Amino acid sequence: MLLLLLFGVVATAQAAPARTVLVLGDSLSAAHNIATEQGWVHLLEVRLGKMVPPWAVVNASISGETSLSGRNRLPALLAKYRPGVVVIELGANDGLQGLPLDPLRDNLAAMVDAAQAAHARVLLLGIELPVNYGPQYRDGLRAVYADLAKQKHAALLPFLLDGVALNPALMQDDGLHPTAAGEPRVLENVWGVLQPLLNG
Task: Give the model confidence (pLDDT) of 22-59 as tens digits.
Answer: 999 999 999 999 999 999 999 999 999 999 999 999 99
H helix count then E strand count, the chain: 7, 5
Let me know if residue 199 belongs to a domain. no
* pTM of this structure: 0.91
CA-CA-CA-CA torsion sign (7, 11, 12, 18): positive
What string of DSSP letters covers 114-160?
Answer: HHHHTT-EEEEE-----GGG-HHHHHHHHHHHHHHHHHHT-EEES-T
Report helix, strand or coil for 58: strand
Tell me the average pLDDT across 164-190: 97
Query: Does position 181 have pLDDT exceeding 60, yes or no?
Result: yes
Let me know if residue 7 belongs to a domain. no
CB atoms within 10 A of CB 62: 16
Q: Is 113 a catalytic residue?
A: no
Let me know if residue 100 belongs to a domain. yes
Let me know if residue 89 belongs to a domain. yes
Query: Does position 11 have pLDDT exceeding 70, yes or no?
Result: no
Q: Given 26, 27, 61, 94, which residue is catalytic? A: 27
Q: Give the CATH number, domain containing residue 141.
A: 3.40.50.1110
- Tell me which residue range forms the domain holding 34: 18-183
| pLDDT of amino acid 162 | 98
Let me know if residue 43 belongs to a domain. yes
Let me know if residue 195 belongs to a domain. no
Residue type, 92: A
Query: What pLDDT, in 10s, does the model give residues 117-169?
Result: 999 999 999 999 999 999 999 999 999 999 999 999 999 999 999 999 999 99
Cβ atoms of residues 123 and 156 within 8 Å = yes
Let me know if residue 188 belongs to a domain. no
| Residue 97 exposure: Cα atoms within 13 Å on the Cβ side | 14
Q: How many domains is the chain partitioned into structurally?
A: 1
> How high does pLDDT run on average in the chain?
92
Q: Is 174 a catalytic residue?
A: yes
Let me know if residue 50 belongs to a domain. yes
| pLDDT of amino acid 54 | 93
Beta bridge partners, 157, equal 125
| pLDDT of amino acid 199 | 86
5 vs 197, higher pLDDT: 197
Q: Given 26, 67, 94, 177, which residue is catalytic? A: 177
